[in-house]
Amino acid sequence: MTKRLLSYILPFIWLLFLASCKQDKRNITDYPQLSQIKGMGKHEFVINTNEIRNIIRKEIKTNENLSLIDSVVLSYYEDKNNPFLWIHDFQEKDNQTDSLLYWLQNSNFQHGINPQLFPITDIIKNRTLWKELKITKDNTVNQLLAELEYEQTKACLNYTQVLNYGIIQPGKILNNLENEDLKYGRIPKLPDGSNKKKQLYNIQLKECNKEFIAQAINKIHEDASGYLREIQPQNRFYNHLQKEYHILDSLIQAGVDSCGNMTVTECQGKVRLNMERLRWQPQLEKGDKYVMVNVAAFMLQAIDHEKDSILEMRVCCGSKRNKTPLLASTINLIELNPYWNVPQSIIRKEIIPAFRRDSSYFTRNRMKVYDRNGTQLNPHDIKWSKYGENIPFDVRQDNGEGNSLGRIIFRFPNKFAVYLHDTPSRWAFMRANRAVSHGCVRVEKALDFGFFLLDKKEDILMDRIRVAVDKPAETEEGRKYINKSNYKEMKYHVLEQHIPVFLDYYTMYYSKNGELSYCEDPYQFDAPLLQVLDSLNAIKNEDTQ
């Protein structure tokens, strides 16, 4: 036997030795046998690491538009010092591949993600060809090993990206809903070159970047099986949705059609969509203390992980015509007894028509009219009919009892001029559908919510807030302070610690009592999101991201 031929066969002898030493004692026939290795001197059997890397690089570069993952993977394999992730000494890391295939094949059952997103069939086919040593001139051993390496790397990274960042970009869909004849992600140009786009979703989301992919590659190299377990979502809400999805799957298998007032398939679609929503990561970190407003469920949860407490209450949100925008910000100010500067759209569409029907409207609602110089005017002296879209006057409602904003308002920076606030209209909290406002969020327990936001629960501070909204002081220390002759009523409190607030939309929610519930879809966001999710769920490329 020549040294040249021996050099070709030795790697396979080493492969057989490794296979025999496997702890799980796999059947030796799972791996190539010496008796199968014939004509190893032929070109198609010559194993060359440089050629494997070249084949991978060539495969990646054939893509006209390189994805972010491909660009990082290309750099990785161009460095000869970087080890292969899935093949070692030209032997497939069988247990790692088993783990990868398990998670990919169960992606629908675990996450509602279509396994067709990943090249499972190609991986299994090439794995079989490798084990059976079906090497040809057109499919050399290097070609086969390169495909096995690249397919598994790309599949694992795509799976990682989907679990960490989701499949779709919600802003591209929701911000086009109220523009007619628009396709996914397309925004028309107006004659002046600007974009006409009514934003309904303004939560800035984290995006997959090169650093994330590079870290993922390192972890795959260290322990792919452990990494795949590590990236499974640990969010309690998400895990409950998974359990619900499994239950619904068993109902489908049992032939059950109904799920309350929905079909089981519709319920599954709702669960899948809300799992996708939870995979989106806001750029704003929540921290240990934050506020979550679920617009779809008309519910606010103020969460303090340090104290392991949740303050939960009902809220009223924007009507279907005046939808509450979905956003992320930080609450920085508690304002007491605010004036209401009425928006121009409300003056034009509601107040002027109401005044025409009832001449006492301004007086009854304690509203005053001012010109742009701040001079108060008599509304009866204004010829409202002569003004169209542009009303050159401001309307302000006096503060105190009966003010539309109630006695407390919670402000946070945002471009929509919305906020959380108290309300004198308590009747709306009794309704199931509480989509009644012009876009702001009315909170059911404003005083309790204000106390939650405070950095320190100091007796004097809390009593000053109570007295400002006509509630009695509750502590002796507070009463002494308030009864001082030089006491000034509190008008606002600036929070030293700004509290993250998220106005988001989930048509399923997890209550503080540990119950998973479905809710209505008041803005009808589910259908278009689910339609795009389903369509992208079957496309095998990253450009949908």
Q: How far apart are CA 413 and CA 198, in angstroms?
A: 19
Which residue type does 499 have?
I
| DSSP letter string, 388-399 | -S----EEEE-S
Residue 19 pLDDT > 70, yes or no? no
Q: pLDDT by residue (tens digit) across 254-289?
A: 988 888 889 999 999 999 999 999 999 999 999 999
**Three-state SS at 497:** strand
Closest CA to 323 of 174, 472, 181: 174
**Three-state SS at 16:** helix
The pLDDT value given to residue 197: 57
The pLDDT value given to residue 411: 97
The pLDDT value given to residue 308: 87
Give pairs for 422-426: CB < 8 Å, separation 24+. Answer: 422/446, 423/316
More confident residue, 5 or 460: 460
Q: How far apart are CA 284 and CA 291, in angstroms?
A: 12
Closest CA to 494 of 467, 454, 463, 529: 454
Among 192-201, 246-255, 259-268, 529-538, where is mean pLDDT lowest?
192-201
Closest CA to 204 of 330, 300, 334: 330
- State which of 77-91, 136-150, 244-258 shows the largest mean pLDDT: 244-258
CA 119: distance to chain centroid? 25
Residue identified by tokens 């405070």 is: 454
Residue 185 pLDDT > 80, yes or no? no
Residue 135 pLDDT > 60, yes or no? yes
Q: How far apart are CA 529 and CA 516, in angstroms?
A: 21
The pLDDT value given to residue 132: 81
Among 110-124, 184-198, 353-367, 392-406, where is mean pLDDT lowest?
184-198
Residue 137 pLDDT > 50, yes or no? yes
Residue 42 pLDDT level (bands cut at 50, 70, 90): low
Q: How far apart are CA 541 and CA 279, in angstroms?
A: 19
Among 64-73, 90-99, 113-122, 313-322, where is mean pLDDT lowest?
90-99
More confident residue, 88 or 231: 231
The pLDDT value given to residue 440: 95
Residue 356 pLDDT > 50, yes or no? yes
As a whole-number percent, the residues of the chain with pLDDT over 70 amount to: 86
Residue 383 pLDDT > 70, yes or no? yes
| DSSP letter string, 410-456 | EE---TT---EE--S-GGGGG-S--EEESSSEEES-HHHHHHHH-SS
The pLDDT value given to residue 195: 47
Q: What rounded mean pLDDT belongs to the chain?
A: 86
More confident residue, 202 or 4: 202
Q: How far apart are CA 76 and CA 85, in angstroms?
A: 11
Residue 397 pLDDT > 50, yes or no? yes
The pair of structure tokens assigned to 324 is 């509450």
Among 248-257, 414-423, 426-435, where is mean pLDDT lowest?
248-257
The pair of structure tokens assigned to 183 is 């396709």
The pLDDT value given to residue 45: 65
Helix (H) or strand (E) holding 507: none
Residue 508 pLDDT level (bands cut at 50, 70, 90): very high
The pLDDT value given to residue 48: 85
The pLDDT value given to residue 385: 83
| DSSP letter string, 141-198 | HHHHHHHHHHHHHHHHHHHHHHHHH-SS-HHHHHTTTTSTT--TT--PBPTTS-B---
Residue 422 pLDDT level (bands cut at 50, 70, 90): very high
The pLDDT value given to residue 181: 45
The whole-number average pLDDT for the span 170-199 is 62
448 φ, ψ to 5°? Answer: -60, -40
The pLDDT value given to residue 29: 37
Residue 64 pLDDT level (bands cut at 50, 70, 90): confident
The whole-number average pLDDT for the span 101-105 is 97
Residue identified by tokens 């308002």 is: 409
The pLDDT value given to residue 129: 87
The pair of structure tokens assigned to 189 is 């140009």
Q: pLDDT by residue (tens digit) across 365-374?
A: 999 999 988 9
Among 138-142, 220-224, 242-246, 445-449, where is mean pLDDT lowest?
138-142
| DSSP letter string, 201-260 | EEPPBP---HHHHHHHHHHHHHHHHHHHHHTS---HHHHHHHHHHHHHHHHHHTT--EET
The pLDDT value given to residue 345: 86
Q: How far apart are CA 282 and CA 425, in angstroms?
A: 33
370 φ, ψ to 5°? Answer: -130, 150
Q: How far apart are CA 63 and CA 67, in angstroms?
A: 9
Residue 39 pLDDT level (bands cut at 50, 70, 90): very low
The pLDDT value given to residue 179: 64
Do 134 and 32 meet the contact criterion of CB atoms below 8 Å apart?
A: no
Q: What is the CA radius of gyration of the chain?
A: 31
The whole-number average pLDDT for the span 204-212 is 95
The whole-number average pLDDT for the span 428-452 is 96
Instruction: Show the CA angle centred on residue 523, arms to residues 517 and 524, nearest 5°.
Output: 80
Closest CA to 536 of 64, 165, 97: 165
Residue 452 pLDDT level (bands cut at 50, 70, 90): very high
